[in-house]
Structure 1
Amino acid sequence: MNLIEMNLDKIIALCKKYKVAKLWVFGSILTPRFNDNSDVDFLVDFDEKHIELLDYADNFFNFIHEIEAVVGRKVDMVVNKSIKNSFFRVEVDETRRLLWSAQ
């Protein structure tokens, strides 16, 4: 988790830039299994009221690209409302840690 804590100010700045309503981290980064080869798993809610439909994809992929540059690792970004698998939903909900909330 030190990787996130060391870069939290930069991550929050990106959340503001890319109109993120909430950002969580989940997965191996929160466990002793996290290692030099691990990616970082994020769960995101965007403030869709303030993102034009035609800009949504650019906003999403640019956010990922910049987060990867900040943490220096591959990032898996999951949009919260897109989770359909109930087993994955339970796993994410039980393990996620909130990093940013616009409210």
Structure 2
Amino acid sequence: MILSIDEIRDKIRPICEKYKIEKVWLFGSYARGEAREDSDVDFHMEVPKGIGLFGLGGIYADLEEALGKEIDLITRLPEENKIFKKYVEREEILIYDRQREGCADPANYRKAL
């Protein structure tokens, strides 16, 4: 099943609220509109400080269960890997912002870090 960005946003919102996640960006094939049935879902998240390994594991498991897909999750962009950082920043789409309780306006999805 290929999910729409709106479906992904709706499915992750309760998880973001549960873990007090600040922001979530989508990148990769889903952000580019190139997702296939076997595509994973790539997330870049701004998580609360001190969430710990168990908290991250919970987020990961909850996201996979909610979406019914494998996911990749990064919580910061590595400064030492400038090529990867530039790649993610170029295509990422903001799909959740705790301060605004999600992005309801698809025209405003694209945001730079």
Higher share of residues assigned strand: 1
Superposed, 1:17-96 pairs within 5 Å as 17-48=18-49, 53=50, 56-82=52-78, 84-96=80-92
Change (3 A) 1:58 1:23: same
Please list the CA deviations of residues 17-71 of structure 1 after superposition, one character each: whole Å capped at 9, or x if unmatched.
Answer: 11211111000112343101110100011121xxxx4x51111011011111111
Change (3 A) 1:17 1:32: closer
The percentage of aligned residue pairs carrying the same residue is: 27
TM-score normalized by the length of structure 1: 0.83
Distance of 1:25 and 1:59 partners within structure 2: 20
CA RMSD of aligned residues (A): 1.9
TM-score normalized by the length of structure 2: 0.76
Give the aligned length.
Answer: 98
Structure 1: which 5+ runs fail to align?
none
Greater RCO structure (CA 8 Å; 6+ sep): 1
Change (3 A) 1:83 1:58: farther
Structure 2: which 5+ runs fail to align?
100-113
Change (3 A) 1:13 1:83: farther
One-letter code aligned to 1:30: A
Do the aligned partners of 1:23 and 1:42 also contact (CA within 8 Å) in 2? yes
